[in-house]
Amino acid sequence: MRSSRILASLILASMLIIPFTAKAWTAGGLVKGSGPGVYYVTTSGKKLAFPDEYVYFSWYPDFSNIQKISDTALAKMPLAGYATMRPGAALVKAATSAQVFVIARGQTLRWVKSELIAQTLYGDDWNQKIIILPLAEIQNYRVGEDLTVANQFSIQTEQAASPNLNSELKLRALAGVTR
C-alpha cells in the first residue's frame, strides 16, 4: 500500500514538473498562447510577432502549423521584433504616400519608379495587389535603391533567397538591420 502511494506521488510530481521543464516550442516554428497573436520562434528562442494577416500570409498558406503553448511560456520568450512581408510577395505603400514599393530581401523597400515597371513585374492588375502598410509597420523596413527598370528586380530570385523567415532574419543581420 505504501509503495503504491510513493509511486502515485512520483507520477504526480513528474506530471507537474514536465510542463515547466520541457521545451514548449521549436525554433523556426509558429506558436501562440491563448490570445490571437501568432509568433515565429527564432533560433535564439525569441519570438517575432506578425503585425497583421498580410505579413503572416506572405509566408504561410494557412494556420495549420501553429503550436499552442502556455501563456507563461510565451511571456518568457523575449520579443525579437516584428516579421515583415516576404520579399517579392506584394507591392506595398504607406497610407500617407503615393510611392509604391517592392519588397526585396533583407527587409528592403525599393521604390517602383513607373507603372510600366509595376505592370511588368506584377501583371496588368498590379494596382489591385498593393497592400497599404501602417506607418508603424513601414518603419520595420529600410529603403534601398529605386527600381528604375523591371530587370533590376526578380520576384522569383527574391523569394528563392528568402524561402523562410529564418533565412530572412539572417539576411537582415548581414545587412545590419537591427529592428
pTM across the whole model: 0.79
**Pairing label, strands 66-68, 79-82:** unpaired
Looking at residue 54, its pLDDT comes to 94
Looking at residue 88, its pLDDT comes to 95
User: pLDDT exceeding 90 applies to what percent of the chain?
Assistant: 64
Looking at residue 164, its pLDDT comes to 86
User: Which residue numbers in the chain have pLDDT < 70?
Assistant: 1-24, 171-179
Looking at residue 170, its pLDDT comes to 79
- Render pLDDT for 1-12 as a digit per residue (tens, 0 to 9): 433 333 333 333
**Pairing label, strands 66-68, 30-32:** parallel
Residues 6 or more apart whose Cβ sits within 8 Å of residue 133: 54, 92, 93, 94, 95
Question: What gap in Å lies between CA 41 and CA 148, rounded to an integer?
Answer: 36
Rg of the chain over Cα atoms, rounded to whole angstroms, equals 21
- Render pLDDT for 92-102 as a digit per residue (tens, 0 to 9): 999 899 999 99
